[in-house]
């Protein structure tokens, strides 16, 4: 019999990591996040309780009471990554300074709780910061493995690169992330079966299958765009003035279409906007819908994000979906942890 693993998911968001862990056989007891909007999607899709807490001020006694007396304890989470990302380091750090201590708060909870298993996921740029070394020091009594992984190698249909750390008090065998046998997925395999919609349209049977509207100019641009192509192929009259400057010449991926038989680019918080990256639908003249973005993050098609009848807001949903841990990554992590337990 496999040992039971009981988990608490810090910075849980809408439950991407939690849902993957559950699919892999882990009992997630609770998710903790400061954003109250995450409560509904987290609890509606997972048999776990949502606690609205700021991890910076979280008392470890509260988490200790959540864990059951039997089984192995897993503390996991992805601290907000904006302070560490390349995007934020170009003069935006001050805006996110208050989030820097959150990873250290994660480390504090590890030291106080001493769970048997720890998983941390974040952006690769975290490796360049002293705060990562400080977090690793919190794991001095643990066997540790970490690496930057390309999610497309795990069957996740996007070129998302993430830092994954796994730590254990059980031993050092089998900590490295398991690569699944079927590890190829594409945009076509993921979203091709969704019904077509127009720019600015919302499907009547799925409020999340909604595409942002396009201006007349951007409609002309997307009609001139080929999957995998760039704005350099447009008529000069459609090119933006910033593209003609030396500083804009390198941004070839903005205003681009995805390719059916390749992985999507990294799904960001602005993935619903055609001009924010290669987020144009491969075939339809629009940006990808919020549902398509969620499915490219490997959320199941029936994952609910808002109560029935409630308005879906693009900025709010884009933030929730773009910041989520891909569900399939959580499943791979769960498989790895059970394999590790068997090996030790």
Per-residue model confidence as pLDDT tens digits over 131-190: 999 999 999 999 999 999 999 999 999 999 999 999 999 999 999 999 887 777 999 999
Which residues are within 8 A (CB) of 181 and not within 5 positions of it... i.e. 6 or more apart? none
Task: Give the pLDDT band of residue 129 (cuts 50, 70, 90).
Answer: confident
- Exposed e or buried b for every residue in 161-182, given b needs 16+ CB within 10 A? ebbbbbbbbbeeebbebbeeee
Q: How far is CA 176 from CA 151, 198, 225, 294, 339, in A?
A: 15, 44, 41, 27, 10
What pLDDT does 74 receive?
98
Burial of 158 (0-12, 13-18, 19+ CB in 10 A): buried
Q: Nearest Cα to 131, choosing from 203, 81, 204?
A: 81
Give me the pLDDT at residue 243, please. Answer: 65
Question: What's the whole-number mean pLDDT along residues 50-71?
Answer: 92
Residue 289: band (very low, low, confident or very high) from pLDDT cuts 50, 70, 90: very high
Residue 248 scores a pLDDT above 50: yes
C-alpha span between 21 and 7 (Å, rounded): 9
pLDDT in tens, 24-36: 999 999 999 999 9
- pLDDT band (50, 70, 90) for residue 90: very low
Give the H/E segment covering residue 32.
strand 27-33
Is pLDDT of 89 > 50? no
pLDDT class for 5, splitting at 50, 70, 90?
very high
If DSSP states are collapsed to H, E and C, what string results for 103-149? HHHHHHHHHHHCCCEEEEEECHHHHHCHHHHHHHHCCCCCEEEEEEE
Q: What percent of the chain has pLDDT over 90?
A: 78
Residue 30, strand partner residues: 8, 49
What's the half-sphere exposure (Cβ side, CA atoms, 13 Å) at 336? 28
pLDDT at 249 (0 to 100): 54
Summarised one tens digit per residue, pLDDT across range 314-331 is 999 999 999 999 999 999
- Position 81 scores a pLDDT of 61
Reading the block at residue 84, the tokens are 């560490």
Residue 300: CB atoms within 10 Å: 11
The predicted structure's pLDDT at residue 91:
46
Highest mean pLDDT among 4-18, 78-92, 99-113, 127-141: 4-18
- The pLDDT > 70 percentage for the chain reads 90
* Nearest in space to 328 (alpha carbons), one of 192, 120, 210, 182: 182
Least confident of 12-16, 173-177, 239-243, 290-294: 239-243
Query: Model confidence at 231, in pLDDT bands (50, 70, 90)?
Result: confident
Q: What is residue 270's predicted lDDT score, i.e. its pLDDT?
A: 95
Residues designated catalytic: 81
**For all residues of the chain together, what is the average pLDDT?**
90
**pLDDT (tens digit per residue) in 190-230:** 999 999 999 999 999 999 999 999 999 999 999 999 999 88
Residue 60 pLDDT greater than 60, yes or no: yes
pLDDT of residue 1 exceeding 50: no
Domains and CATH numbers, the chain: 5-184+326-343 (3.40.50.150)
pLDDT at 88 over 70: no
Q: Assign 336 to helix, strand or coil.
A: helix
């Amino acid at each position: 019999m496999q040992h039971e693993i009981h988990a608490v998911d810090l910075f849980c968001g809408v439950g991407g990591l939690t849902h993957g862990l559950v699919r892999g056989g882990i009992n997630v007891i609770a998710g903790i996040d400061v954003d109250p909007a995450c409560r509904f999607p987290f609890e509606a899709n997972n048999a776990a309780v949502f606690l609205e807490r700021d991890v910076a001020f979280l008392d470890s006694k509260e988490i200790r009471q959540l864990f059951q007396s039997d089984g192995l304890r897993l503390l996991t989470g992805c601290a907000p990554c904006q302070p560490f990302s390349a995007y934020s380091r170009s003069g935006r750090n001050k805006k996110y300074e208050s989030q820097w201590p959150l990873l250290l708060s994660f480390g504090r909870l590890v030291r106080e709780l001493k769970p048997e298993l720890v998983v941390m996921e974040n952006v690769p740029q975290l490796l360049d910061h002293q705060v990562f070394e400080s977090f690793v020091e919190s794991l001095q009594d643990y066997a540790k493995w970490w690496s930057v992984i390309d999610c497309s190698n795990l069957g996740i249909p996007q070129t998302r690169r993430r830092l994954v750390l796994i730590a254990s008090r059980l031993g050092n065998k089998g900590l490295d992330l398991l690569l699944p046998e079927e590890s190829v997925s594409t945009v076509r395999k993921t979203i091709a079966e969704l019904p077509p919609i127009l720019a600015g349209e919302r499907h009547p049977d799925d409020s999340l299958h909604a595409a942002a509207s396009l201006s007349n100019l951007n409609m002309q641009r997307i009609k001139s765009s080929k999957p995998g192509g760039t704005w350099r192929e447009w008529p000069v009259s459609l090119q933006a003035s910033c593209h003609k400057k030396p500083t804009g010449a390198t941004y070839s991926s903005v205003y681009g279409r995805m390719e059916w038989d390749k992985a999507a680019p990294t799904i960001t918080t602005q993935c619903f906007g055609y001009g924010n990256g290669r987020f144009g639908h491969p075939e339809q003249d629009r940006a990808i819908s919020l549902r398509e973005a969620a499915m490219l993050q490997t959320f199941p098609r029936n994952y609910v994000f808002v109560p029935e009848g409630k308005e879906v807001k693009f900025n709010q949903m884009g933030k929730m979906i773009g910041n989520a841990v891909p569900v399939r990554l959580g499943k791979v992590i769960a498989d790895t942890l059970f394999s590790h337990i068997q090996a030790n």
